[in-house]
Amino acid sequence: MDMNQPAPRNAIDDNRQGLIGRPVDRVDGRLKVTGQAPYAYEVREANDPACGFIVGATIAKGSVAEIDASAAEKSPGVLLVYTHHNAPKQAAWGPLDAKDRFSRATPQLGSTRIRYHGEAVAFVVAQTFEQARAAAQLVKVRYAAEPGDYELEPKLAQAEKPPDDAGEDGAKTDSAVGDFAGAFAAAAVQVDATYTTPFHIHAQMEPHATLAYWKDGRVHIHCAAQLLESAQKAVANTLQIAPDKVRIVSRYIGGGFGGKLPVYGDVMLSALAARQLGRPVKTALTRQQMFHFTTHRSQTVQRVRLGATADGRLTAIGHDAWQHCARFDNFCEPTVMATRTLYAAPNRLTTQRLLKLDLPVADSTRAPGEAVGLLALEQAMDELAEKLALDPLELRLRNEPALDPEKQVPYSSRQLVACMRQGAQRFGWHERQARPGQTRQGRWLVGMGMAAATRGNLLLPSKCSVALDKQGLLTVRMSMTDIGTGSYTVFTQIAAEMMGLPMDRVRMLLGDSDFPETPGSGGSFGAASAGSGLFDACLNLRASLARRLGVEPAVAVFAHGRVSAAGKSETLGALAGTLGLQANGEIKPGAMTSQFSQQAYGAHFAEVAVDADTGEVRLRRMLGVFAAGRILNIKTATSQATGAMIWGVGAALHEEAVIDPRYGYFVNNDLAGYHVPSHADIPHIEAVFLDEVDDKTNPLKIKGVGELGISGAGAALANAVYNACGVRVRDYPITLDKVMAGLA
């Protein structure tokens, strides 16, 4: 099945059993809360594993001049110590221009070269974790350090235009429509402001971990991986073996957020050591190691220029973004993507520039592009509204486009205006005081802010197999992963609704690269892509069952475990017979992707209080209203949206990883120093979904939900802070010292 035309009405629309949209509890919830869902480090499929521990470089650039592992090798329980002297041969890093950057070879300990702080310089394997960690401290390394570049802002002039395929979605690096420079210069009202966002760390609850063992010449790897096929190829490319000699299993993942899109040295080193020792090896990163050994979000510097008529019609939109990547990489955070489609203006310019630094690899983190890009654009819109003496909501309404302003194609569906209007009504936006600093409660200055949200919608190729047995039990197999978003649950709902079965008659098997290929979890494309492959497999199985009943598939009714049509009725198990019945399904993107501009939308509203004496900012309440196609499960969707909004609060007020510019390492490299919102920071938060069905996106008529909630959320808080106290902070996060400087 491909999406070359709008999806017709189907069984998901009919929803005869009422399973689609219901707030169904997570089918894996009991396993998780009782500790029975095994995460990678807890898997017991291999007996008596040894434990590995990675020794990371303590410099950010240079080389290993001398390394002495003799004391570690003699330490109690130690089985093996790898350094660059004895690490098994692996492929060279890369290639840089790989179509799938997560499948690139990532060799470990291949040379003396140090490219970033924390890069592996040794790997210790021992009988226990404690023995391996203790021995790791005995590895003595002498470095030849070199000066490095670790800061973005001082060297913006040296940033270069990255290749067009370096971004998240392959979109061109720059875009231009009309005469931006001329229109901006001639505009009656102008905003020209620069905003900065810091390094962000994924901070998943589950550390990256691996269990690797070899059996019959094939390596089996249990790890925390969002994309199993990419991980399989990465291991195969690194170890220089055939992909079918690699099996990746990732049944439960304790948070991904983009940080588990790649696989890292713990996977490669565990696999190599397990092969050499003939014994399973498991390795977990410490929380501190995760800050350097895995990816992070780039810093950004963003200049937004808006030109408008006196009545608030945008005539020019310009968004220039600078970000960094690792010296040996080329990933470019797609910071300006939302600006290209959100508001109407005849003259437009967006550019992205990339500076290579001597830092760990930067890559996708929590709605890459939109999350940080809208922090700037939506603050700039607020600044423009003030200059125009116009309500910020009204400014956005006046610049609603009829077509995608750069692609010049219609939107598949777009309810941004409805989100803003309903949000304003629910939130009490009419009570907002236009002039900052007018609402005071004791020493607290209170203000409101809002921002628009958008996140691109993707459909990627995906496959699925389903099998029905004589007992009427349906087994679904996909290599899809569940990173805590509810994949097991919504796929069970889809399968049960399609086949007319109770949910407890569906067995959902995910997270194994031996299962049919899916794109995995990431970019908010997982449910749409894998769910559509599942839909197609069930559609094919329905057709086979209908034919066995002797009726046309189009008239067959599947409900309550039976197939009925034309006066005939039979149970699914009876029709499957003794041998059972199987079917495969597949989805491919088609013409709908290019014929329509596809995004999910929302509007954020926030109320904050600012302490007039200390500059402390406290969120009081927050509302997000979203339109994201059909909602498969209102409970899991709401959970994702509110969680993402909390990310937005973190980006606005708390999160900032700080690099020591002398030595190139994150100084706040744990969850004590890297601040994320706690329960006390989130007093009241609400997410609401509007009714929407988008038949241009996929046969399920859904859109991605997971990352929409963070997009624009932080800007709503920034705008609320300004409305509360009159201090405009363009340098995120909005900490009390920055507010105090403005108040003073």
Return the amino acid letter for 492: T
Residue 576 φ/ψ region, left for φ over 0, alpha for ψ in the -120 to 50 degree band, beta for the rest: alpha
Q: In degrees, to the nearest 5, what angle opens at C-alpha 192 toward C-alphas 191 and 197? A: 115
Return the amino acid letter for 570: E
SS (H, E, C) 305-325: EEEECCCCCEEEEEEEEEEEE
CA atoms of 349 and 175, how far apart (whole Å): 6
SS3 173: coil
- Residue 44 CB: number of other CB atoms within 10 A? 9
Residue found by looking up tokens 């610049």 in the block: 399
Q: In degrees, to the nearest 5, what angle opens at C-alpha 69 toward C-alphas 68 and 70? A: 95
CA atoms of 620 and 384, how far apart (whole Å): 25
The yes-or-no answer on residue 655 being catalytic is no
Cβ distance 620 to 608 under 8 Å? Answer: yes
In 673-688, which positions are buried (b, 16+ CB within 10 angstroms) versus exposed (e)? ebbbbeeebbeebbbb
At 30, list the tokens: 């009991």
At 298, list the tokens: 């780039």
Query: Residues near 567 by Cβ (< 8 Å), separated by ≥ 6?
Result: none
- Phi and psi dihedrals of 471, rounded to 5? -90, 0
CA atoms of 492 and 488, how far apart (whole Å): 6
Burial of 18 (0-12, 13-18, 19+ CB in 10 A): exposed
Residue 523 φ/ψ region, left for φ over 0, alpha for ψ in the -120 to 50 degree band, beta for the rest: left
At 7, list the tokens: 């999806």
Q: Residue 608: CA atoms inside 13 Å, Cβ hemisphere, count?
A: 34
Query: Residues near 341 by Cβ (< 8 Å), separated by ≥ 6?
Result: 401, 404, 405, 406, 407, 454, 597, 599
Cβ distance 646 to 710 under 8 Å? Answer: no
At 641, list the tokens: 């949206």
CA atoms of 273 and 123, how far apart (whole Å): 9
CA atoms of 155 and 357, how far apart (whole Å): 10
Helices (H) and strands (E) in the chain, counts: 18, 28
Q: In degrees, to the nearest 5, what angle opens at C-alpha 438 toward C-alphas 435 and 444? A: 130
- List the strands of the sheet with 462-468, edge to edge: 2-3, 581-589, 462-468, 474-477, 506-509
CA atoms of 184 and 192, how far apart (whole Å): 10
**Alpha-carbon dihedral 170, 173, 176, 180, rounded to 10 degrees:** 140
At 623, list the tokens: 């509302």
At 385, list the tokens: 């509204």
SS3 547: helix
Which of 386, 517, 607, 707 is an active site residue?
A: 707
Cβ distance 258 to 363 under 8 Å? Answer: yes
Cβ distance 190 to 726 under 8 Å? Answer: no
Q: In degrees, to the nearest 5, what angle opens at C-alpha 297 toward C-alphas 414 and 634? A: 40
Return the amino acid letter for 292: H
C-alpha distances (whole Å) from 312 to each of 369, 396, 402, 403, 659 are: 26, 9, 17, 19, 41
The catalytic residue positions are 707
